[in-house]
Structure 1
Amino acid sequence: MTPRTQAPPSSSPREVRTVAPEDPETPGRASGSGTASRGPRRRRGVLPLLLVLPTIAVLVGALGYPVAWQVATSFQEFGLKQQFGLPPEFVGLANYVTIFTDPALWTVLGRSLLFCLVCAFATVLIGGLLALLMKRVGTVVRLVLQVSMLLAWAMPLVAAMTVWVWLVDWRRGVLNWLLTRIGVDAAGHNWLAEPVTFFAIAAIIVVWMSVPFVALSLYAGLTQIPEEVLEAAAMDGAAGIQRVRLIILPLIAPVLSIVLLLQIIWDLRVFTQIKLLQDAGGVANETHLLGTYIYQLGVGSGDFGSASAVSIVMLLITVAVSWYYVRSLMKEEAA
């Protein structure tokens, strides 16, 4: 009878002997190699910082010095006497107490916030509608719209304001001439003398100058939306407004938020349009925004200390407005 051959066990002694115990020095060597591998990576992380360091130095020098000067001046009595070489006197928080107890500042501040919010939301709304229009029309019409907006956007601000002042001039302006031709008694009417019509004209000018940037930015965001997504929504029965509200707006929300933030900041700092309209016939004391109010305090009244204090308040408002978006960006990068 032939003896049965048994199968070898799953692990023979030889195989057991070949499995060596874990070397306690192995983790050390592994960590050492990891440390060695992190060295070049750390050096690669330092190199970009070194490359952008000159740019950071230029920005700090160009932007940091004026801000530091304004902060220092806001705590000083800096007037016309200092223009003749006399040293300024440190007054602490006296300038801030003066401006915050002045009712004119709160009136100008509320007027500026209302004006910038109305202009910013109107600009984004009109720019968004133009972006949707450029997405739907043909190539020729789209190119005409884009070139027209680029020409309006590239026009120098003072040159554009010269044309607008001529249009609304109360003596020989085109607006009064057209209204007179259609039967409205507008001959010699000064539209800039009343605050309501003054800010209506100013808002039209500000929106007209800002719409091209918003429209082109949002159109660039719309071109990144896949056509298959919109076609699938249309096949599911979604109407045009539903596609815009439920698909297009959520997809271009990052572009929309940064454009709206920039418009609020820019419209809060508007100066040239308001100043030139005031010079063309507006009542300055009733139409001041923060920019022209600071100019009037500094150049008009010679109180550069109070003007610097209002400038710091304006800076803090700008930082507060933009902080929410900056914090959301930091959270997205950390995630």
Structure 2
Amino acid sequence: MSAADTTTSAKVPPPRPAPPPSASDRTCGKRTSGGAAVPWALLAPCLLILALVMGYPLVRLVTLSFQKFGQSQLWGFQPAESAGFANFSKVLGDGEFWAVVLRTILFAAGSVIFTMVVGMLIALLLQRVSGWMKTLVNIVLVAGWGMPIIVATTVFKWLFDSDYGVFNALLSKLPGVDMIGHNWFASGPQGLTVIMLLVVWGAVPFVVITLGAGLTQVPKELEEAARLDGAGSWGVFRYVTLPILKPIIVMLTTLSVIWDMGVFPQVFVMRGGHPEAEFQLLTTYSYDKAFVVNDYGQGSAIALVTVLLLLGVVAVYMRQMLKIGEVE
């Protein structure tokens, strides 16, 4: 018999059964299975506060939008009456409402584009300055960002004043330009442009600081490799920096759209508490219907339509973020 036959005929011992799990292993398994409830337990207080602070007003808003609710109902002289979809039919069939919707969309789009472009340019420039200059600019940005909206609106109102405005005086120093006494709020487009500048001024610091933090995560090796391949500054920004910053840009754009479509104090204070028809946005229009005309049901219907428009923006944001997650 050969050695090969001897090896083949040898019996292989059967495998030993796995030992039963010890008490420590069973304890670890129980902890792992029960760990899913820990995040929900930690989030419970926050979710409860959000439900109380935001849930009740939203439910109340939906309820009022389907009711006939005026001052008589507000003071309790008459009970609230169900109006069905009458408030929505009245709002959606009003040409003035659609003009306000279009004005709000244009205002928000202009503010968002201007904010993102200026914020990106400043964030890129801050990457090329010295450390002390970068710190100084960040301090100025945070100081401007922390200024109360009412104070900032009052300052802008003074800057663009027709009689004592600094902006008119500076423009008048240019050759052939005479802006002394020019009223920027004589027309809606000019006045809304001033308010847009105010909104952009207040939003740029947040965009700059956030994009600046994102730019620190761009690998320098990729930028150097792109330059070695012959890419210029624009090529490096387009093919290296921009794709890495895309999640942050999508988030900032979505937040800016939500904030800019909800602009209220800037318009309200700038127009002395009585915005003219040319200055009406969805927020001020809803306020006027509810608290000036005293038709709270119609005002609530306008506010609810605004919420639905913003939910559409959030849906687009979630879809973009999911696409980015799938690519990664």
TM-score (norm 1): 0.89
Q: How far has the Cα of 1:231 moved from its partner? A: 1.6
Q: What is aligned with 2:205? A: 212
Q: Distance in 1 between matches of 2:277 and 2:2?
A: 112
User: Which of 90, 99, 117 is the matching residue for 1:98?
Assistant: 90
Q: Distance in 1 between matches of 2:132 and 2:38?
A: 47
Q: 1:269 to 1:87 in 2, by over 3 A?
A: same
Q: Distance in 2 between matches of 1:198 and 1:120?
A: 17
Q: How far has the Cα of 1:234 moved from its partner? A: 1.7
Q: 1:55 to 1:106 in 2, by over 3 A?
A: same
Q: What is aligned with 1:9? A: 6
Q: How far has the Cα of 1:6 moved from its partner? A: 4.3
Q: What is aligned with 1:243? A: 236
**Helix, strand or coil at the partner of 1:190:** coil
Mapping 1:164-183, distance limit 5 Å: 164-182=156-174
Q: Distance in 1 between matches of 2:275 and 2:321?
A: 42
Q: How far has the Cα of 1:180 moved from its partner? A: 4.0
Q: What is aligned with 1:19? A: 14
Q: Which structure 2 residue ranges, 5 or more long, are not aligned?
A: none
Q: How far has the Cα of 1:181 moved from its partner? A: 4.5
Q: How far has the Cα of 1:7 moved from its partner? A: 4.8
Mapping 1:68-107, distance limit 5 Å: 68-85=59-76, 86-107=78-99
User: Which of 44, 48, 58 is the matching residue for 1:53?
Assistant: 44
Q: Distance in 1 between matches of 2:6 and 2:36?
A: 54
Q: Distance in 1 between matches of 2:233 and 2:96?
A: 47
Q: Which amino acid aligns with 2:83?
A: V
Q: Which structure 1 residue ranges, 5 or more long, are not aligned?
A: none
Q: How far has the Cα of 1:326 moved from its partner? A: 1.8
Q: Distance in 2 between matches of 1:231 and 1:181?
A: 46
Q: What is aligned with 2:278? A: 286
Q: How far has the Cα of 1:255 moved from its partner? A: 0.7
Q: How far has the Cα of 1:66 moved from its partner? A: 0.3
> Which moves more between the two structures, 313-322 or 79-88?
79-88
Does residue 133 of structure 2 align to residue 136 of structure 1? no
- Cα contact 1:193–1:283 (8 A) shared by 2: no
Q: How far has the Cα of 1:138 moved from its partner? A: 1.1
**Helix, strand or coil at the partner of 1:10:** helix
Q: What is aligned with 2:55? A: 64
Does residue 200 of structure 2 align to residue 203 of structure 1? no
- After superposition, the C-alpha distances for 1:245-277 in whole angstroms (9 at most, x for unaligned) are 110000111111101111111111111111122
Q: How far has the Cα of 1:242 moved from its partner? A: 0.5
- After superposition, the C-alpha distances for 1:284-310 in whole angstroms (9 at most, x for unaligned) are 111101111111111111111011001
Q: 1:48 to 1:186 in 2, by over 3 A?
A: same
- Cα contact 1:123–1:207 (8 A) shared by 2: yes
Q: Distance in 2 between matches of 1:244 and 1:88?
A: 59
Q: How far has the Cα of 1:188 moved from its partner? A: 2.6
- Cα contact 1:82–1:88 (8 A) shared by 2: yes
- Cα contact 2:104–2:282 (8 A) shared by 1: yes
- Cα contact 2:188–2:279 (8 A) shared by 1: yes
> Which moves more between the two structures, 77-86 or 178-187?
178-187
Q: Distance in 1 between matches of 2:79 and 2:71?
A: 11
**Helix, strand or coil at the partner of 1:9:** helix
Q: Which has the larger radius of gyration?
A: 1
Q: Which amino acid aligns with 1:153?
A: W
- After superposition, the C-alpha distances for 1:73-100 in whole angstroms (9 at most, x for unaligned) are 0000111112221321111100000000
TM-score (norm 2): 0.91
Q: Distance in 1 between matches of 2:290 and 2:177?
A: 42
Q: What is aligned with 1:157? A: 149
Q: Distance in 1 between matches of 2:39 and 2:326?
A: 18
Q: Which amino acid aligns with 1:39?
A: K
User: Which of 257, 279, 282 is the matching residue for 1:264?
Assistant: 257
Q: Distance in 1 between matches of 2:183 and 2:2?
A: 116
User: Which of 89, 96, 100 is the matching residue for 1:108?
Assistant: 100
Q: 1:6 to 1:104 in 2, by over 3 A?
A: closer
Q: Which amino acid aligns with 1:60?
A: A
Identity %: 34
**Helix, strand or coil at the partner of 1:224:** coil
Q: How far has the Cα of 1:190 moved from its partner? A: 1.5
Q: What is aligned with 1:146? A: 138
Q: Distance in 2 between matches of 1:10 and 1:58?
A: 74
